[in-house]
Amino acid sequence: MVQRATALPSLRPRVLLGLALLALCLVLPAGGAAAKPPSEPWQLCRTLLVAFELAPRDLVSESRIGAPAEPSAIRFQWFDRDEAGRHREHFLVCHFLPLDQTDGRWQVAALDNDRYGHFERYDIQQLYKLMHARLRSTDAPAEARDPAAIAWLHAAQQAINALSLGALYGLIAIGFTLAYAASGVMNLALGTFFTFGAFQAFFAYLLGEAWFGQGWLAVVLAGLLLALLAGGAAGYASWKAAFAPLASRVAGAQRGQAALVVATGLLIAVQEAIRLGQGPKTRWLPYRSGNAITLAEVPGYELVLSRGHLVVFLCSLALAALLGWYLRRTRAGLSLRAVADDPRAAALLGVSVAGTTAGAFLLSGALAGVAGGFAFLHYGAVNFHLGLITGFKALTATLLGGIGSVGGALLAGFLVAFVEAIAVSLGQSQWKDLWVFGLLVGVLVLRPNGLFGRERG
C-alpha cells in the first residue's frame, strides 16, 4: 500500500506532460496550415485587389490551398465607411486552377466579389487592364481626374472589345447562313467546330513553342491555318455522315424536324468527343505584358488596343470580303447562290446540288474553326464547352440578321457583342446572356424575318 501511494505522485507529472504534448501536436498542424498561404497565389490575388480597392482598410485573408490535383482559393476581406459613417464589409475571392493543369504555375480561373458578382476569364483580362490603369493613376491628385473623360474612354474601350468579339460571332453566323441557304439545315454543331478549331490552335501553339520558342508570327499563322483546315474537315464530314443521308431518305416537312434532331445529337456527340479526348480542364496561355498599345490616357484611365483586337477584327473583315468576292465572282459561289434560290432549277441548269451543298458545309465549318483559332489566340483559354454558348449567340446573330443574309449575319454579330459589352460596362456581366437572348425575342416578335432578311414566296 505504501509503495502504491508513493508511485502515483511520480507518474502524474509525466501523464500531464504527455497530454500537453499530444494537445500541442494536434493544434500546431491546424494553426500552421491556416496561418499563412503560399506567397505566390496570395500575391496574385492581392494584385487583382487593386482593381476593386486601392487602399483597403483592415485587410484580412483566408486560404484554401488544395493538393496539386485540386483547385485552390484565397479570400480577402476589408472594410470601409459609407456616407453615414457605418462600417461596410467587402470581399474578394480568387479561384485558382489545380497546379496539375498549369504545369505548376498559379493561374486565376475566376473571381467572386460582393460588389460586381462573378468574373470569368474575359472579365479577369479586363481587370488586368483596369489594374494597370489604376496603378499608373495613383500619383495623380483626385482633383485632376475628369469623370466625363474617364466615362468616354471606358465606353471606347468597351467598343474596341465588342469589335473583336463581334467579328467572331459574325464569322460563325455567316457559317450558319451558308449551310442553311444550301440545305435548309441549321447545323447546330458549328459551335463545337469552333471549339475544335480552338483546340487545334492550342496544339499549334504547343508545337510552335517547342520548335520556334518566341516566334509568335509562325505560331499564329500555323494555329490559324490548322484551325481553318480542321473546321472545314469537320463541316464537310458532318454533311456527308449525318445530313446528306437524311436529305436522301426523308422528304417534305418531316425533313426539317429530323434535321433539327440530328443537329442536336451531332452537337452533343462532338462536344462529348472533345471532352473525352481532351479532358474537362481548361488550357490557358500564359499572361504576357506589353501586348497592348495605349491609344489615349487621362488621369484615372487608359484606353488600350491589343494585338489580338487588331488581328481578330481585321482578319475577320478580310475573310468576309473574300467570301463576298467568292460568292459573286467565282463559279462555285454562283452555284451556291443558285442552289440557295432554287435547288431544282439549279439542277436543271447543270449545277451539282450535292457537291455545292457539301462545299457550303465545308465553308461554314472552316469559318467556325478559324473563329475558334482567333478566340484562343486572343483570349488565351480553351475548354471542351467553349463553343456551346458562343455557338448559340452566333445563331442568335444569324436570326437577328435574317437567315440568308451574309452581310446581315456579320452586322448582327457586332450587335450581339455590343449588347454584351454594354451589360459588362454597367456591371451586369452575369446578365449579359439574358440581354442577348432577350434582344433576339424582341426583334423576332417585331420582325420575324430578322433585321436584314426578306420574306420568301
* Inter-residue contact 54 to 134 (CB < 8 Å): yes
**145 in any annotated domain:** no
**17 in any annotated domain:** no
**426 in any annotated domain:** no
Q: Which of 435, 103, 13, 46 is nearest to 283 (CA)?
A: 103
**Per-residue pLDDT at 216:** 65
**266 in any annotated domain:** yes
Q: Do residues 114 and 203 share a domain?
A: no
Kindly state the cell numbers that stand for 196: 475544335
Q: Do residues 235 and 351 share a domain?
A: yes
For residues 213 and 280, the model is more confident at 280
What letter would DSSP give residue 280? Answer: S
Q: Do residues 45 and 190 share a domain?
A: no
Given the DSSP bridges, would you call strands 292-298 and 301-306 parallel, antiparallel or unpaired? antiparallel
Kindly state the cell numbers that stand for 260: 433539327
DSSP states of 230-251 as a string? HHHHHHHHHIIIIIHHHHHH--
Kindly state the cell numbers that stand for 349: 441548269
**206 in any annotated domain:** yes
Quickly state the pLDDT bin for 318 (edges 50, 70, 90). Answer: very high
**Helix, strand, coil content of the chain in percent (nearest 5):** 70, 10, 20
Quickly state the pLDDT bin for 99 (edges 50, 70, 90). Answer: confident
pLDDT higher than threshold 80 for residue 456: no
Q: Do residues 104 and 251 share a domain?
A: no
In tens, the pLDDT along 363-388 reads 999 999 999 999 998 888 888 888 99
**Per-residue pLDDT at 138:** 47
Kindly state the cell numbers that stand for 455: 420574306
Residue 294: phi and psi, rounded to 5, are: -80, 115
pLDDT higher than threshold 70 for residue 186: yes
In tens, the pLDDT along 398-426 reads 999 988 788 899 999 999 999 998 887 77
Q: Do residues 291 and 370 share a domain?
A: yes
Q: Do residues 242 and 103 share a domain?
A: no
Q: What distance in Å separates the CA atoms of residue 437 and residue 255, rounded to the nearest whole number?
A: 27
Average pLDDT over residues 183-196: 91
User: Would you call 360 exposed, middle or buried from its count of C-beta atoms within 10 A (0-12, 13-18, 19+)?
Assistant: buried
In tens, the pLDDT along 225-275 reads 999 999 999 999 999 998 988 877 766 556 778 888 899 999 999 999 999
Residue 344's domain comprises 161-388
Q: Which of 254, 296, 260 is nearest to 155 (CA)?
A: 296
Q: Do residues 250 and 384 share a domain?
A: yes
Kindly state the cell numbers that stand for 177: 447562313
Q: What distance in Å separates the CA atoms of residue 377 and residue 198, rounded to the nearest whole number?
A: 8
**253 in any annotated domain:** yes
* Inter-residue contact 167 to 413 (CB < 8 Å): yes
Kindly state the cell numbers that stand for 371: 473563329
Q: Do residues 340 and 209 share a domain?
A: yes
CA angle 57, 59, 61 (to 5 degrees): 165
Strand order through the sheet with 108-113: 57-64, 72-81, 87-96, 108-113, 117-119
pLDDT higher than threshold 50 for residue 281: yes
Q: What distance in Å separates the CA atoms of residue 227 and residue 374, rounded to the nearest whole number?
A: 9
**65 in any annotated domain:** yes
Percent with pLDDT over 90 in the chain: 29
**290 in any annotated domain:** yes
For the chain, counts of helices (H) and of strands (E): 15, 9
Give the helix/strand (H/E) hosting 340.
helix 331-341
Q: Do residues 171 and 55 share a domain?
A: no
Domain end call among 88, 119, 150: 119
- Number of domains the chain contains: 2
Quickly state the pLDDT bin for 8 (edges 50, 70, 90). Answer: very low
In tens, the pLDDT along 35-91 reads 344 677 888 888 788 777 767 777 888 888 878 878 888 888 887 765 565 667 888
Q: Which of 48, 40, 233, 162 is nearest to 422 (CA)?
A: 162
Domain end call among 370, 388, 406: 388
Backbone Cα Rg of the chain: 28
**Per-residue pLDDT at 95:** 87
* Inter-residue contact 325 to 302 (CB < 8 Å): no
Average pLDDT of the chain to the nearest whole number: 79
At 303, is the secondary structure helix, strand, or coil?
Answer: strand
Q: Do residues 115 and 181 share a domain?
A: no
Quickly state the pLDDT bin for 25 (edges 50, 70, 90). Answer: very low
Domain end call among 119, 148, 173: 119
Kindly state the cell numbers that stand for 39: 506567397
Q: Do residues 313 and 167 share a domain?
A: yes
Q: Do residues 46 and 193 share a domain?
A: no
